[in-house]
Structure 1
Amino acid sequence: MVEGHVIVAVVIAVIMLVGRGLGRGFGIPAAIPLVLLGLAASFVPGMGKAAVPPDVILTLYLPPLVYRAAFLTAPRETKEDAVPISVMAFGLTCVTALAVMAAVRLAVPQIGWPVALALGAAVAPTDPVAATSVMKRLGAPRRLVTILEGESLVNDAVALTLFGLALTAITEPVTLSEGGLMLVRIVAGGVLYGLVLGWVVARLRGRITDNGAQIVVSLITPFVAYLPAEHFGFSGVLATITTGFYLGVRAHGLLQPSSRLTGDAFWEVLVLLLESSLFVLLGLEIRQVLNGVTDYSFATLAGTALIVLAVVVLMRLAWTMAVFPLAKWLPGRHLSFDGIGRAQRLVMGWAGMRGAITLAVALSIPLTVPNRPLLIFLAAVVVMATLIGQATTLAALLRRFGLGETQESVIEEAKARQATVEAALSRLDHLASEGEVDEHTAGVFRQLLELRLDTVRAILDEDDDEDGTSPDSGTRGLRRQLAHAQREKLDELYSKGKISAATQRHLIHELDLEDRRRASGSH
């Protein structure tokens, strides 16, 4: 029994490696070969053991996925664009879920309203990974990336709250007033619990110096957020997102550089494994799903799938082109919408791919829910169609409107590098003037920093051509102070809105790498 499960796990791991390799080789989203290879593997005897119980899917996959997304959210940019993000995440998600519910109910009348809402909630949230990876590679305006990432984080919570209400309504009737009170309790309880847990974990992690222990704490945190919240009738997703966001904002002050590097590497691999295995599991389940929809004619299946896909795609395009601009009239202080023109809105509308979250929700539908195979089939069609049709054409759309040629991120990063090196030079001069560092040592480090500064000035077309070398030095205390000065400068630049969270995180990552190299070289 144990050997069989191990063999299945190895097969899934091989499929993930091959599938991702094929995706890179053919320049297509990795999800496509992963699903196809999973389908092929379903014909191998014994692979039926790979089926994961529906109630395990949300518990196992959802907490770490949404926690990591929340942890990496850019706080200042998200706050500045809170209105456009909210218009997309709350308004569009609810409208899409309700529109899909109505469309499915119309196409397949025997499906009840709560079951149709469960499907609508599953396909409503977007997965920005494919879209933002293309945008970042082409240098698209960062504000578009921020809005898409912020929307995806919030709409996960909105959609999953609707999904929970739909499942409750399937088992027991719920009046409108009862549903409203339940919604308030679910949302308020989840957010409050997430804040309390974030505060506790922040203080705990601030006292831990061992890298391994930090990873263990970070791994169990999303489950400690999700499971108790769900047990007490709150939103586990909102609790997990709130905890992740709370800790992500304070990550630079909580963790040592080596802990950040180790944690980033661990979570990057974990998220890759979770997302990839979800697509493989979908492929493995396709045969069973197809066997479960044999009661429906091909015309019904194809027609319903096309209707749901059309609602999902066209509703988003209509929302970004017609409804989204109206948000500028909403009360309150928020960034101007003038910088988001028709071309940007069209890209936002087309960047509505569905992915891992939709699959996790669809596969988590309980076995007792009527028409479960049909719901999974329709969700799978939406995911695959949007990945094939939208993800593969997004780059061409960006180039068509000239949105992929900006050097904004390059210039921003160069300016941030210049400011951090200048901060380190200023700290070095101060230390030398106070007699804490001798002139010879100060001169060595000054040459190293000025060499870096010259490189940055060359990028910014500043003519400053001084020669310098970078000799090694064993003065680790001085190195730490200079690195600390650079991190402080990055925090200052970010807090003043001079650089984005992505630039801040990237440069801090480089400083962390330098700290690790020096630490490993000292042993």
Structure 2
Amino acid sequence: MELSLALVVILVSGILCQWLAWQLKIPAIVLLATAGLILGPISGWVQPAVDFGPSLNAVIQLFVAVILFEGGLNLQLHELREAGRVVRRLTSVGVLVAWVLGTLAAYFVGGLGWPVALLLGAILVVTGPTVIMPLLKHANLNRRTSSYLKWEGIINDPLGVMLAVIVYQYFLYSGEGGGLGVALTSLLTAVVVAVLIGGGGGYLLGTFFRRGWVPEYLKAPMIIAVALGVYALSHLVLHESGLLAVTV
């Protein structure tokens, strides 16, 4: 399938699935996953690796950046004041427990070696807003529980990416005797870069809006442009820090 046609099929199918989910009052992720399986592995109409070629990874990263940015806009700081303790546990102890259990399953059940099992366990700690947010809209949970899961889903996504990168770098440089130092340095640098670029971009955007320096019709495209710009700049400064930056 031609790239332009593949993009149209993906976008139209995604919007149609979300509209049908709203009509049927079911989580959108159910129809989105089903449509993805039908269009991809089952029918073979859309083959991302072939249609997008070498650009596939870049396209995925940009789309995930937009998703995380949009998810971050749904977070309210007053919720964090109420749910802060639980959210901190979910994004610290919860991540550690998920990583350990995922690693053990990959090693003992999947038969993978320890380095690959640790890397897979790091990847699997991610829950992600693409799954959590549609489910929360239909779960009818109380406000506090919903805020716990919303914060966890959005914050854990970039944390999982960073954890996977750090584990990979550790094993990449461990043969040179500096694996742990490189990994910890990368983590600290990523956090600093994400806070400075992501926080700075958000502050400047808010300032421009409050002072009326952006006309109303340009606000929506300006928001997307800044989000993608923050992702690209952070990613350029430090590889794989862009997702954390757009979340900030």
Whichever structure has more helix as a proportion of its residues is 2
Q: 1:33 to 1:220 in 2, by over 3 A?
A: same
Aligned partner of 1:186 among 186, 190, 193? 190
**2-side partners of 1:87 and 1:166: how far apart?**
21
Normalised by the length of structure 1, the TM-score is: 0.41
1:176 to 2:180 alignment = yes
Work out the CA distance in 2 between the residues paired with 1:195 and 1:45: 37
**2:245 is the counterpart of 1:239:** yes
Question: 1:48 offset after TM fit, Å?
Answer: 3.7
Alignment match, 2:217: 212
Structure 1 residue runs without a partner (length 5+): 243-523
CA distance in 1, matches of 2:237, 2:100: 27
Pick aligned residue for 2:4 from 3, 6, 14: 6
1:11 alignment partner AA: V
| Secondary structure of the structure 2 residue equivalent to 1:128 | helix
Q: Which has the higher contact order (CA 8 A, sep 6+)?
A: 1
Q: Which one of 95, 98, 108 corresponds to residue 97 of structure 2? A: 95
Deviation at 1:47, TM superposition (A): 9.4
**Deviation digits for residues 435-461 of structure 1, max 9, x if unmatched?**
xxxxxxxxxxxxxxxxxxxxxxxxxxx
Find the aligned partners of 1:88 and 1:47 in 2 and give their Cα distance.
34
The answer on whether the counterparts of 1:5 and 1:49 sit within 8 Å (CA) in structure 2 is yes
Can you list the C-alpha shifts for 1:485-520, whole angstroms capped at 9, x where unaligned?
xxxxxxxxxxxxxxxxxxxxxxxxxxxxxxxxxxxx
Instruction: Give the distance between the partners of 2:126 and 2:46, measured in 1 at CA.
Output: 33
Deviation, structure 1 residue 144: 0.8
Structure 1 distance, partners of 2:229, 2:25, is 40
Quick one: structure 1 residues 151 and 14, their matched pair in 2 at CA, closer, same or farther if it must change by over 3 Å? closer
Picking from 106, 118, 132, the partner of 2:136 is 132
Could you tell me which of 198, 203, 207 is aligned with 1:199? 203
Q: Contact (CA 8 Å) 1:90, 1:158: kept in 2 or not?
A: no
Instruction: Assess, with a 3 A threshold, how the Cα gap between structure 1 residues 58 and 12 changes in structure 2: closer, same or farther.
Output: closer
**2:231 aligned residue:** 226
**Do residues 32 (structure 1) and 33 (structure 2) align?**
yes
Partner of 1:82: 84
What's the offset of the Cα at 1:164? 1.8
CA contact (8 A) 2:14 2:32 kept: no
Mapping 1:54-453, distance limit 5 Å: 54-111=56-113, 113=115, 115-126=116-127, 127-135=131-139, 138=140, 140-169=141-170, 171-173=172-174, 175-206=179-210, 207-233=212-238, 235-242=241-248
Q: Report if aligned partners of 2:6, 2:46 keep a CA contact under 8 Å in 1.
A: no
Q: For the residues of structure 2 that align with 1:103 and 1:44, how far apart are their CA atoms?
A: 32
Measure the CA separation in 1 of the matches of 2:83 and 2:47: 51
CA drift of 1:236 comes to 1.9
Query: What is the aligned-residue identity percentage?
Result: 16
Structure 1 residue matching 2:213: 3-state secondary structure: coil
Given that 1:19 and 1:30 are in contact with CA atoms closer than 8 Å, whether structure 2 keeps it comes out as: yes
Could you say if the C-alpha distance between residues 54 and 105 of structure 1 is closer, same or farther in structure 2, counting changes exceeding 3 Å? farther
Report the alpha carbon displacement of residue 172 of structure 1 after superposing the two structures with TM: 3.5
* Distance across 1 between alignment mates of 2:150 and 2:109: 33
Amino acid aligned to 1:61: F
- What is the deviation of 1:62? 1.9
Note if contact 2:166-2:184 (Cα within 8 Å) is conserved in structure 1.
Answer: no
What secondary structure is seen at the aligned counterpart in 2 of 1:208?
A: coil
Q: Structure 2: how far apart are the matches of 1:163 and 1:46?
A: 23
Matched letter for residue 10 of structure 1: V
CA distance in 1, matches of 2:45, 2:126: 31
- Report the alpha carbon displacement of residue 20 of structure 1 after superposing the two structures with TM: 4.5
| Deviations, residues 389-442 of structure 1 (Å, cap 9, x unaligned) | xxxxxxxxxxxxxxxxxxxxxxxxxxxxxxxxxxxxxxxxxxxxxxxxxxxxxx
Describe the shift of the 1:74–1:168 C-alpha distance in structure 2 as closer, same or farther (beyond 3 A): same
Instruction: Give me the CA root mean square deviation.
Output: 3.0
Distance 1:144 1:108, change over 3 A: closer
2:92 counterpart SS class: helix
> Which string of whole-angstrom CA distances, capped at 9 and with x for unpartnered residues, describes residues 338-382 of structure 1?
xxxxxxxxxxxxxxxxxxxxxxxxxxxxxxxxxxxxxxxxxxxxx
Once residues 47 and 185 of structure 2 are traced to their aligned partners in structure 1, the CA distance between those partners, rounded to angstroms, is 49
Displacement of 1:58: 4.6
Query: How far, CA to CA, are the matches of 2:49 and 2:118 in structure 1?
Result: 32
Contact 2:25 2:138 in 1 (8 A): no
Amino acid in the other structure paired with 2:166: L
Following the alignment from structure 1 to structure 2, what is the Cα–Cα distance between the partners of residues 201 and 26? 35
The Cα of 1:9 is off from its aligned counterpart by: 2.5
TM (normalized to structure 2)?
A: 0.80
Per-residue Cα deviation, 1:238-260 (whole angstroms, up to 9, x for no partner): 22122xxxxxxxxxxxxxxxxxx
* Superposition deviation, residue 146 in structure 1: 0.9
Alignment gaps of 5+ in structure 2: none
Give the AA of the match of 2:104: A
Distance 1:10 1:70, change over 3 A: closer
